[in-house]
Amino acid sequence: MTHDKRFGPVRLIPGAHRGRYPNSNSVYVEGAGVLVDAGADAERYRELLAGPGVKEVWLSHWHEDHLTHLDLFEGLPLRQMAAEAGALGGIEAMLDWYGYEKEEYRDHWRKTLREDFHIRPRRATGGFAPGEVIDLGSCTAEVIHAPGHTPGFAAFFFREPQVLFMGDYDLTAFGPWYGDRAGSIDETIASVRRLQQVPAKVWLTSHEDGCFEGDVAPVFDRYLAVIDEREAKLLDLLAEPRTMDEIVAACIVYRKPREPKAFFEWGEGAIMGKHLQRLLARGAIALEGGRYRRL
């Protein structure tokens, strides 16, 4: 088991397999007994519950890989942004929030969400207000609304140790995810740049190593540059008119065809769809007869 990383009262609890999906890292605040997200490691959570204890769970957002082990915390207060309350309504609600339309994809995810992520209808017991400052005793936490990845995404700045938990704005080489039905490229860029301006000394994230210190400006820049790289490749592809199926088959996001299609093929189309919307709005491309082409 990988050991926690500690920054004053704030700990990063690494997810299994270096926090790679379907796992995610968590944050735990000593003294307050607050756990942020529940997708890391069941054994580690049981240790925390045994002592020093978990008193409440906060969610950065509604995605399944952050909810996996919520059953361990049944009966404890659960807080999330009110804007995303509907996404916890169960499997069908979650599929709708993602924007899954093909029944074959929905069938795959019905089984996966139930068996692998233990998704069931839940209701948070409390919410967060953007900009709210919460006194945790051992430190104070500022709630930062950072839409783009999801509409009600919450980042948490623990002020005294100057630690910022950015969740799925994870600064990985893959780049940002904004493929949800309500995801937004432009909001993602604005949120990442806003988070970059928070006066933190440590930046914690949900996936992979999940810990950044020192001069992180180049890391932020590389992370957001992935958006421009995807768009440039798409524009190159659209030098010839292309259908949506042809765009998905080009694998600009995931680089090669992968299984399961309900994850990778859908995700490719979801992210490319956001870029197509953006380019159409800018007048950079046209849609004619079911084909997109560069202007």
The tens digit of pLDDT for each residue in 2-40 reads 789 999 999 999 999 999 999 999 999 999 999 999 999
User: Dihedral angle at the C-alpha atoms of 186, 189, 192, 195, nearest 10 degrees?
Assistant: -70
> What span, in angstroms and rounded, lies between the C-alpha atoms of 204 and 25?
9
Q: What is the pLDDT of residue 56?
A: 98
Q: Where would I find the H helices in the chain?
A: 42-50, 91-98, 103-115, 185-196, 217-237, 244-249, 264-282
- At 93, which amino acid appears? A
CA proximity to 266, closest of 204, 180, 186: 180
The full set of domains in the chain, from first to last, is 5-214 (3.60.15.10), 226-294 (1.10.10)
Widest pairwise Cα distance in the chain: 62
> What span, in angstroms and rounded, lies between the C-alpha atoms of 275 and 32?
42
Residue 33 structure tokens: 């007994």
Report, in angstroms and rounded to the nearest whole number, the Rg of the chain calculated over CA atoms: 19
CA proximity to 79, closest of 58, 55, 54: 58
Distances (CA, A) of 106 to 23, 62, 112, 160, 230: 21, 17, 10, 44, 27
70 three-state secondary structure: helix
Q: Indicate if the pLDDT at residue 206 is higher than 60.
A: yes
Q: With 0-12 CB in 10 A as exposed, 13-18 as middle and 19+ as buried, what is 104?
A: exposed
Cis peptide leading into 52, omega within 30 of 0? Answer: yes
pLDDT digits (tens, 9 = 90+) for 37-92: 999 999 999 999 999 999 999 999 999 999 999 999 999 999 999 999 999 999 99
Q: Which DSSP state fits 242?
A: B
Q: What is the pLDDT of residue 258?
A: 96
Residue 113 structure tokens: 């969400």
